[in-house]
Structure 1
């Protein structure tokens, strides 16, 4: 069960206005990855992007992070246009990407150090280790950790920079089913504790319904937004409820994965 903690309200509103992006393919021909995508995310919301592989979900996430620039359109955090990477927008990948030569504690300290934060971060690191339940592993190295523990370190490492927006690119995709469900609750707990705006890419429909305030359904390439579905189920959510299963069936049908009706 997700604990109900009072949020710190670190989140910021996000707007994507008419964004398109083209790339060169290996044969030097151009293709459109995203076509006229517009999206508004309120501060503190958790929104999932769902769609077939190659529909531009990760490209959109990288543009929000400032790692890619749109061919047209604009992206804004609050009223500030996104033009480059910034610590206020954290990004967590499927692979935790921890520094193998650093302990858990020093992995967490790496972000503030890179930003030139001179103050002693030990107390803050301790706080985030407690937040993700790894205070007893502060001096462990990444190869000592399970997959779920390593991903919790990656989440803590992103959150210690106090991002207004946390971007998660299939961060649970490499975990086994049981660890994945536990980590879904972990992400939800951290989200509630920090009040961070989260944009979550996933191919797992159940995961999207279980976690999200709303689900953005994207079309095959060129990626467009087909529909934005609000998820109005009470938290914590029951994966076996009739409402949950009905929403799952609706999304699967929309993505053309449902069985044909006879």
Structure 2
């Protein structure tokens, strides 16, 4: 399988304001600027309500900024596009389709399934789902469903993959195994990835850099270069030191 050509992502002075149900004006994001290099894996962390998912939706083209601009490569983001894939916490598989048909769905929509059917086979093998290609979503474990959703997101060769708490609903053991699956696929495909997570260990284990957003309105509070060699060990002293620093940045050390 030919690795995807991950695209650079640029976010420039992006703000997002919306009207709440009670009529109040809510500023979700204020002046966010961020650069993600092609093929880089960057995690967004911060308290609930700081605008992490809002930023992801704007990069996906599902929502528009109130101010500012977003670019994938040299192209401005003006709406959804095939150059971006999106994966949510809920795998959102079509329950009436088999695993294979779910993975094929994007290629069917693009009208290229006949020419690229072999890529479906390759992705099923890469995600360990070949034996379950004929199964339906209700017959899958949580981890297998997420692997199917990941294969579906990657089969269209997005240049940027947006991950909104994709492993948050899994038990801890399955989540750790899926983190390794995600890293393996990222290394194989070279796709740029932007990950929203509330899990500090996950952010350190997976990402090249961690962007810490402030409480609402979300601003870039700091950017932490992980700088740990891969593969990483969660028990290494350097990993634990970075974990302590990130918890400190998030004011989650438990010191009151």
Structures share fold, TM-score greater than 0.5: yes
Distance 1:184 1:166 in 2: 15
After TM superposition, list the pairs within 5 Å mapping 1:91-110 onto structure 2: 91-110=86-105
After TM superposition, list the pairs within 5 Å mapping 1:53-68 onto structure 2: 53-68=48-63
Q: Give the deviation of 1:56 after TM superposition.
A: 0.3
What corresponds to 2:223 in structure 1? 228
Identify the match of residue 247 of structure 1 among 234, 242, 249: 242
Counterpart secondary structure, 1:119: helix
What corresponds to 1:197 in structure 2? 192
Identify the match of residue 134 of structure 1 among 129, 136, 151: 129
Equivalent pair of 1:7/1:192 in contact (CA under 8 Å) = no
What corresponds to 1:35 in structure 2? 30
- Structure-1-length-normalised TM-score: 0.95
Q: Cα deviations across residues 80-123 of structure 1 (Å, max 9, x unaligned)? A: 10001011100000000000000011101111111232534432
Identify the match of residue 212 of structure 1 among 207, 228, 231: 207
Equivalent pair of 2:104/2:113 in contact (CA under 8 Å) = no
Distance 1:87 1:197 in 2: 14
Q: Give the deviation of 1:221 after TM superposition.
A: 0.4
- Structure-2-length-normalised TM-score: 0.97
Q: Which stretches in structure 1 are left out of the alignment for 5+ residues? A: 1-5
Identify the match of residue 167 of structure 1 among 162, 166, 172: 162
Distance 1:121 1:100 in 2: 23
Equivalent pair of 1:7/1:195 in contact (CA under 8 Å) = no
Runs of 4+ residues over 3 Å off in structure 1: none
Q: Give the deviation of 1:242 after TM superposition.
A: 1.1
What corresponds to 1:3 in structure 2? none
What corresponds to 1:117 in structure 2? 112
What corresponds to 1:90 in structure 2? 85
Is 1:147 the counterpart of 2:142 in the alignment? yes
Task: Tell me how many residue pairs correspond in the alignment.
Answer: 256
CA RMSD of aligned residues (A): 1.3
Equivalent pair of 2:10/2:71 in contact (CA under 8 Å) = yes
